[in-house]
């Protein structure tokens, strides 16, 4: 969606509700100045003060939950129930960082033997903030993706500039306002309403210390190239095509039920959605029957309706991209066990039916590319070796799921699945206390936990020699 207009377009109707002008050069400069000035103040504040501010932001967001959830659903089409859950998850993460940041960034003491060996009388490792971080964010979890960056960054003493996806401007402006209302110093967290074409100039500005990007591979490549040229740190959270491996010892009912949620959460537009279902031949048919029945039973409809399981895709382009992947597979011999088309009633909006495709071969695009919508691919494998080989046969390495109660199989999968996470007997879900991120073309660096917060810290060695 590069260089699209900055606008709220309701994906359930296709109606443009509100458009915004991109900031001009002077307005961008004003925000850079304010971010830099805010950093000089914020970096000197105590953890107690930062925690107070972040708790206040969490309280405000909690009070705003219903209104902000409706904004999310209006801008990108996720079911309202899931939008409320996203807001609640943000509140939880803000409180978690407010309560844990000080301990996570506490000074570290190197081994006394190493301190003596270095000639020091004392040595300390201290995590100091880096400066203003540019966050380039996607529309799919428009609140959560930003908060999981902002909460640790602000607790570490950094300031943030948000370039949000062009189709979620009202959410972006809400976030800026939220932190302002919470009492953060002016400029601590600001939204830049700019198109993707304006990112390079901002990133090259010396007042930007580093960047984090969550989004597609091309966007990640572009931002990382500029940051590399400027020798600035980046964290990249890119696409995924996570495997969902089901082995004979699995609880099949549960694996099928959870698999449906894992595939269609957020209308199927989640980086960590299970996308490729790799099932052992002993349980393949039983799993396929239950999983397909579960997918076919989902309600596609108005995302504001609480009975809806799947709303529209976020953009017309996103739906066309998904259709092309499915059509390519079907033309090459894949079978749609359910779905494989738009809802037949020709409703307005960018809807697509939940789909299960069987008979996938490596020549099909969907075998290697990310399907960003409610489309699952189903594979039959003869044994664990083949399951692992197929699971790893992807350019991506974000997360993975494996259903087995066999400890030996779990150990093999933990060793051999090429991904930033392996979730056993459940679906991938992020938690503030655990690191999140990918391998291979899913990106690098981590978010969440202490590891994520330290990505944007200057890890400083303080070395004290003898004074006499």
Of the candidates 38, 136, 260, 356, which one interacts with ligand NAP according to CB under 6 A? 136
Q: Does 124 bind ligand NAP (CB under 6 A)?
A: no
Of the candidates 222, 265, 308, 400, which one interacts with ligand NAP according to CB under 6 A? 222
The two three-digit tokens of residue 352, written as one number: 């697509």
How far apart are alpha carbons 32 and 97 in whole angstroms? Answer: 26
Q: Which is nearer to ligand NAP, 157 or 239 (CB)?
A: 239
Q: Which is nearer to ligand NAP, 193 or 358 (CB)?
A: 193
Sign of torsion over alpha carbons 2, 133, 265, 139: negative
The burial class, CB within 10 Å (0-12 / 13-18 / 19+), for 109 is exposed
Of the candidates 215, 303, 354, 373, which one interacts with ligand NAP according to CB under 6 A? 215
The two three-digit tokens of residue 163, written as one number: 């370039």
The two three-digit tokens of residue 427, written as one number: 């679906």
Q: Which of 86, 176, 188, 271 is catalytic?
A: 271
Q: Which is nearer to ligand NAP, 277 or 372 (CB)?
A: 372
How far apart are alpha carbons 11 and 20 in whole angstroms? Answer: 17
User: Among candidates 165, 201, 175, 157, which has minimal Cα distance to 87?
Assistant: 175
Of the candidates 142, 240, 259, 373, which one interacts with ligand NAP according to CB under 6 A? 240
Q: Does 223 bind ligand NAP (CB under 6 A)?
A: yes
Q: Are 187 and 38 in contact (CB under 8 A)?
A: yes
CA of 454: how far to CAs of 50, 59, 64, 264, 394, in Å?
16, 25, 30, 32, 29
Piece of 31-39, 58-66, 137-145, 302-310 that binds ligand NAP (CB under 6 A): 137-145
User: Among candidates 52, 35, 28, 33, which has minimal Cα distance to 158?
Assistant: 35
Of the candidates 86, 370, 409, 455, which one interacts with ligand NAP according to CB under 6 A? 370
Show contacts with ligand NAP in window 289-348 (CB under 6 A): none
Q: Are 427 and 254 in contact (CB under 8 A)?
A: no
Q: Which is nearer to ligand NAP, 7 or 296 (CB)?
A: 7
CA angle 430, 138, 339 (to 5 degrees): 80
Q: Are 403 and 255 in contact (CB under 8 A)?
A: yes
Q: Does 237 bind ligand NAP (CB under 6 A)?
A: yes
Q: Is residue 271 among the annotated active site residues? A: yes
Q: Which of 75, 237, 447, 455 is catalytic?
A: 237
**Strand, helix or coil at 337?**
strand
Q: Which is nearer to ligand NAP, 14 or 333 (CB)?
A: 14
Q: Are 303 and 79 in contact (CB under 8 A)?
A: yes
Q: Does 51 bind ligand NAP (CB under 6 A)?
A: no
Of the candidates 262, 271, 366, 384, which one interacts with ligand NAP according to CB under 6 A? 271
Q: How far is the CB of 398 from ligand NAP (least distance, A)?
A: 6
Q: Does 165 bind ligand NAP (CB under 6 A)?
A: yes
Q: How far is the CB of 446 from ligand NAP (least distance, A)?
A: 10
Strands 122-129, 457-464: pairing kind? antiparallel
Q: How far is the CB of 116 from ligand NAP (least distance, A)?
A: 43
Show contacts with ligand NAP in window 422-451 (CB under 6 A): 438, 442-443
Site string for ligand NAP, 171-210 (x = CB under 6 A): ------------------------xx--x-----------
Strands 15-19, 7-10: pairing kind? antiparallel
Q: Is residue 237 among the annotated active site residues? A: yes
How far apart are alpha carbons 189 and 196 in whole angstroms? Answer: 19
Q: Does 139 bind ligand NAP (CB under 6 A)?
A: yes
Of the candidates 137, 162, 334, 419, which one interacts with ligand NAP according to CB under 6 A? 137
Neighbouring C-beta atoms of residue 407, cutoff 10 Å: 8
Q: Among the residues of 187-306, which ranges form H helices?
A: 199-204, 217-230, 252-264, 284-296
Of the candidates 12, 38, 238, 279, which one interacts with ligand NAP according to CB under 6 A? 238
Q: Which is nearer to ligand NAP, 135 or 247 (CB)?
A: 135
Which residue's beta carbon is nearest to the bound ligand NAP?
A: 215
Q: How many residues bind ligand NAP (CB under 6 A)?
A: 33
Binding residues vs ligand NAP (CB under 6 A): 1-2, 4, 136-140, 145, 163-166, 195-196, 199, 214-216, 219, 222-223, 237-240, 271, 370, 372, 398, 438, 442-443
Catalytic annotation, residues: 237, 271
């Amino acid at each position: 969606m590069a260089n699209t207009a900055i606008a709220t377009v309701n994906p359930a109707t296709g109606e443009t509700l509100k458009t915004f002008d991109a900031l001009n050069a002077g307005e961008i400069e004003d925000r850079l100045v304010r971010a830099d000035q805010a950093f000089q103040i914020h970096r000197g504040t105590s953890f107690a003060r930062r925690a107070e501010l972040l708790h206040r932001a969490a309280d405000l967001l909690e009070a705003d939950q219903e209104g902000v959830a409706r904004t999310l659903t209006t801008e990108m089409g996720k079911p309202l129930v899931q939008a409320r859950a996203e807001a609640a998850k943000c509140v939880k993460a803000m409180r978690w960082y407010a309560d844990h940041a000080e301990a996570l960034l506490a000074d570290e003491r190197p081994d006394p033997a190493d301190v003596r060996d270095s000639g020091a009388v004392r040595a300390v490792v201290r995590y100091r903030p880096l400066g203003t971080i540019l966050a380039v964010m996607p529309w799919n979890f428009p609140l959560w993706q930003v908060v999981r960056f902002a909460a640790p960054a602000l607790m570490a003493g950094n300031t943030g500039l948000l370039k949000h996806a062009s189709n979620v401007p009202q959410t972006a402006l809400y976030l800026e306002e939220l932190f302002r209302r919470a009492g953060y110093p002016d400029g601590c967290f600001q939204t830049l309403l700019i198109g993707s074409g304006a990112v390079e100039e901002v990133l090259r500005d010396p007042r930007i210390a580093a960047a984090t990007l969550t989004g597609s591979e091309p966007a990640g490549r572009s931002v990382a190239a500029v940051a590399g040229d400027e020798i600035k740190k980046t964290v990249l959270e890119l696409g995924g095509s996570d495997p969902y491996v089901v082995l004979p010892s699995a609880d099949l009912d549960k694996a099928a039920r959870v698999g449906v949620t894992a595939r269609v959460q957020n209308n199927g537009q989640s980086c960590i959605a299970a996308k490729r279902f790799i099932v052992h031949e002993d349980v393949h048919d039983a799993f396929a029957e239950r999983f397909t029945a579960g997918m076919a039973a989902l309600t596609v409809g108005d995302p504001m309706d609480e009975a809806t399981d799947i709303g529209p895709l976020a953009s017309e382009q996103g739906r066309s991209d998904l259709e092309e992947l499915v059509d390519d597979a079907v033309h090459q011999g894949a079978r749609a066990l359910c779905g494989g088309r738009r809802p037949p009633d020709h409703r307005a909006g960018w809807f697509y039916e939940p789909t299960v495709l069987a008979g996938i071969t490596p020549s099909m695009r969907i075998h290697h590319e990310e399907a960003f919508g409610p489309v699952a691919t189903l594979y039959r494998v003869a044994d664990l070796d083949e399951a692992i080989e197929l699971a790893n046969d992807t350019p991506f390495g974000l997360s993975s799921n494996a259903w087995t109660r066999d400890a030996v199989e779990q150990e093999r999968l933990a060793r051999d699945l090429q991904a930033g996470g392996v979730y056993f007997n459940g679906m991938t879900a992020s938690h503030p206390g655990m690191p999140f991120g990918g391998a291979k073309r899913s990106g690098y660096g981590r978010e969440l936990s202490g590891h994520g917060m330290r990505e944007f810290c200057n890890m400083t060695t303080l070395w004290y020699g003898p004074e006499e």
